[in-house]
Amino acid sequence: MTEIESILMRFLKQFDITEIDQQLIYSLSLQCRIQNYPKKIILSKEGSHNKYVFIIKKGFVRRYAISDGKDITLEFAQENEMITSRYALVTGNPTIDYIETIEDSVVLKFNFESIKELHSIYQIAPKIGNVLRDRYFLKLENRILTLQKSSGEARYNDLLQNHEHILKRASLGQIASYLGMTQENLSRIRAKKS
């Protein structure tokens, strides 16, 4: 098994997909490349037409948007997680966000268009796509509910309990924008916890 096949298997196994076809993994691996990026490299830029999907082998990456000159962190991805500009994949329009490495990162990179071709060849491929899509939508719904229904302190506590790696790996500004608050509010909340 190649390194790329191993990364793909490890990524897919976390979703309890029992029928992973080794031939599908092999075919997927032919569409992928492993890339090394130093920190602070833009992998995808607003307005671009790329349709890349990234699986993080090592490192830490974030997706963000710029609104009224402010940087708003939308999501983070660490080892064995996927990140992409879903808007571009679904609509075919240019991306509306950025993807950037926060740390030196090793990522598996592939073009979504080449993966779509495998749907007609392998019966399990659409099922895997559906599982990944459903997991993303559940994650997104949970994030929206948390932002809408929870206080800033509750959002920080959730991050502390369930995603402590973000607190260790991202900057204060990135964390604050992810939590939907100012750096000053985040600093006050953190000071209360000390």
CATH number of the domain bearing residue 61: 2.60.120.10
| pLDDT value at residue 55 | 96
Show the domain range for 52: 3-121
In-domain check, residue 194: no
Structural domain count of the chain: 1
In-domain check, residue 63: yes
Reported as a single tens digit per residue, the pLDDT across 84-93 is 998 898 898 9
In-domain check, residue 27: yes
In-domain check, residue 17: yes
Section 104-126 average pLDDT: 87
In-domain check, residue 150: no
Output the pTM of the full model: 0.91
| pLDDT value at residue 17 | 74
In-domain check, residue 54: yes
- Residue 34 neighbours by CB under 8 Å, 6+ apart: 3, 4, 7, 57, 106, 107, 108, 109
Reported as a single tens digit per residue, the pLDDT across 15-29 is 877 677 888 899 999
Section 132-148 average pLDDT: 89
In-domain check, residue 84: yes
In-domain check, residue 186: no
